Structures are given as C-alpha cells and as structure tokens.
Amino acid sequence: MNSRLTRYVLSRNIVGVGVALVMISSMILLVQFVTLSRTVGVRTEVGAGDIFRLTLLQSPSVIQILLPFVFLFGGISAFVGLNRRSELVAMRAAGVSAWRFILPSAFAAFLFGIFAVLAISPVSAALSARFEVERAKLMASYIGDAPKDVWLRQGDERTQMVIHAKSRDTIQGEVRLHDVSLFVYQKNSYGQPEFKRRLEATEAVLHPGFWQLTNVREATAGESSVQSDSLSIRSPLDPEAAVERFASPDTIAFWRLPGAIKQTEDSGFSASGYRLRFEQLLSTPLMFAAMAILAAAFSLRLVRLGGLAGLAGAGVALGFVVFFFNQLSGALGRAHIIPLFAAAWAPAVVALLSGLTLLCYTEDG
C-alpha cells in the first residue's frame, strides 16, 4: 500500500513538474523572441522565421538556468493540490510519514539533474554556440557592431605564444584569423618568459597540429625582418578548442570542460570561468533535489489551519532568493572573492539545509 501511495504522489509530482516546464518554457520563448526582435530584427533585414530560429537556439540554455524553478513550482503545485483534496491528510492519518513520499520525489529530481548535466547540458551548449554563430552572421552587415580584436594564447612548458588578430571567422569548422600578430616567448633557466621573435601575417588558418600563415614578416630582436609567402607554426590547439577560447563557458559542453580547463591553464590563462561552470554543473542534481524538498516543506500545512496560500507564496519567494544567491555566489567566485567550490555548491547546500530544517520542524517538532 505504501509503495502504491508513493508511486501516486510521485506521479502527481511528475505531472506538476511537466506543467511547470511547459509554462516556463513558453514564457522564455516569448520573452526571447521579443528581445531578439528588438536587438537583431531592428538592425538587420531578417524575417520572423530567422528570429524564431535564433529563439529556439538560445532558449534551451536559458531554460536550463531556470530548471530549479521548474521543480520548485511543479512540486508546490502538486503538493498543494494533494493537500487541498485532503489526500495528504488521509495518508498521514493512515500512518504514512511525509518523508515516505517526499524523499522519492527528491530522489527523482536528483536523477533528472544527472540526466540534465550529462545529456541536456551538452545539447544546450551546442545550440548556444550555434546561436552565437548565426547571430554574428545576421549582424555582420550592421555597422554598429565593429569587429572585435581576437586574443589567443598557446604554449607548453618551454614556449609561449600570444596571438592577436583584428578579426576572425569560422567556416565549416576551420578557424581563420586576419591581420595577425604572433609574439613568441621562451622560458629561461629561471622559468621566466623572454621575448624571442614576432611574426606578422595577413592570414592564419588553423589546421590539425599547426597554424598556416600567409604573407609573413618575421622579426627577431636585434636583427632585420625576413619576408616569406607562407610559414607553418606548430600548435596544440584543434579548431574546436580554438573556437572555445572565443566562447563563454556556457557554450562549452560538460564533457569538454575539463579539457578546456587544462588547455587554458597550460597556455597561461586563468580558467576560473570554466572551473566555476564545471562545479555548477556538478552541483545541479543537488540543487534540483533541494528545490523538490523545499516545495514539499512549504506545501504540507493543513488546509484547515489556514495560511497555506501564504506559505506556498513564501516558498516561491525563497526560490527567487536562492536564485539570486546563486547568481551572487557565481559573481563572487568569478571575482575570486570566494573559492570557486564554495561559489558553486553553497546555493544548493543552503537550499537543501533550509528545506530539511523546515521539514524537521513541521513534521518532527
């Protein structure tokens, strides 16, 4: 009997989460469509179909950010509905502890969090990266968006190279840099970089294992410059890794984040943004479970006691507080004010402890 009740409550939670997901996704699609119409549509000659395609590419990453609200709103809707129909009262009168139907819902949310990190996150990252490419193509004719300089850095234990270009483009996965300057440094016996040479090229194309430079002028300290039609420079970057250097951490798939962290640190750059994103994805299942527990904690008050609507509203308000706390922690982590591990895991842990504390207070006195 208890297992049947557990499955019933779990099914009601799944329905509530599904309805909340549809509503939040629809709202995000509408907001994104209006926003892109104002930012892209008024600057370029594009139709509603192009704007809608951009909306579909960008929205999954936004939906992923708001998925904790899906479990909070869906859980509150499900438990408040069960409470208003007096089903929870009947279950608890029959001796069924609230923990028996809360923990399965939290565990289901935890499992969905794992699925979101392993499967949904790479898809949304790929779509977000595609959105950046498509938006750049549409905005290319807009004179208000001048091309931005490109900076790259590559190297190993002995050699470091700083690459500067006036512009770039990516055609069929091939990275091309234009008006390129390459500054080559070598580490001395003390481990300090020393400038060795500078190369100027009209174009640099990244091939597997090397950069192919065109119309090159090479200058070494204390010597005259040397002109050549083409030159190859060894590179540990592959086209996908090079593109990731231009992209935000949100556009990199979960599976590629460890590699991006290593390559960035090997090149001498700070990988704090990638590390924070990686830790935040790891904490996602715990955040989903915490939101499911919070939803139950704010929905179990007996209807006859009154104040259920106010308590559910307080749960929604606390969800927004957790969201802003998550954003604040991320900002503090990126600024190196607090450790990245704490910035990523603190919101989930605080939400979980808040839900468990409230449940223990209401259920166990």
Separation CA 338–CA 334 (nearest Å): 8
> Could you list the mean pLDDT of each consecutive 10-residue stretch along the chain, which spans 365 residues?
75 90 91 84 72 87 88 87 77 72 87 91 84 71 52 74 76 74 80 80 84 85 76 75 60 80 69 86 93 84 60 78 88 86 91 85 63
Check residue 253 and give its pLDDT: 78
Contact 13, 108 (CB under 8 A): yes
What radius of gyration, in Å, describes the C-alpha atoms of the chain? 26
Cα-flanking dihedrals φ and ψ of residue 337, to 5°?
-80, -35
Q: Which domains, from first to last, does the chain contain?
A: 2-140+275-364 (no CATH), 157-235 (2.60.450.10)
Task: Map residue 185 onto helix, strand or coil.
Answer: strand
Query: What is the reported pTM?
Result: 0.73
* Sequence-ordered list of residues with C-beta below 8 angstroms from that of 72, at least 6 positions apart, any chain: 291, 292, 294, 295, 315, 316, 319
Residue labelled with tokens 């270009």: 165
Handedness of CA 290, 65, 250, 170 (dihedral sign): positive
Pairing of strands 150-155, 174-187: unpaired
Separation CA 246–CA 209 (nearest Å): 19
β partners of residue 231: 213
Check residue 143 and give its pLDDT: 38
Check residue 364 and give its pLDDT: 58
Q: Per residue, what are the HEC states of 28-76?
A: HHHHHHHHHHHHHHCCCCCCHHHHHHHHHHHHHHHHHHCHHHHHHHHHH
Of the candidates 69, 77, 87, the residue with the CA atom closest to the CA atom of residue 6: 87
Check residue 144 and give its pLDDT: 43
Q: Does an H or E element contain 81, and which? A: helix 67-84
Of the candidates 289, 275, 279, 297, the residue with the CA atom closest to the CA atom of residue 355: 297
User: How far does the chain reach from its first CA to its final CA, in angstroms?
Assistant: 26
CA atoms within 13 A on the CB side of 66: 19
Check residue 248 and give its pLDDT: 66
Of the candidates 316, 318, 303, 306, the residue with the CA atom closest to the CA atom of residue 354: 318
Q: What is the Cα 235 distance to its own chain's centre?
A: 28
Separation CA 344–CA 278 (nearest Å): 9
CA atoms within 13 A on the CB side of 44: 21
Check residue 309 and give its pLDDT: 65
Check residue 152 and give its pLDDT: 75
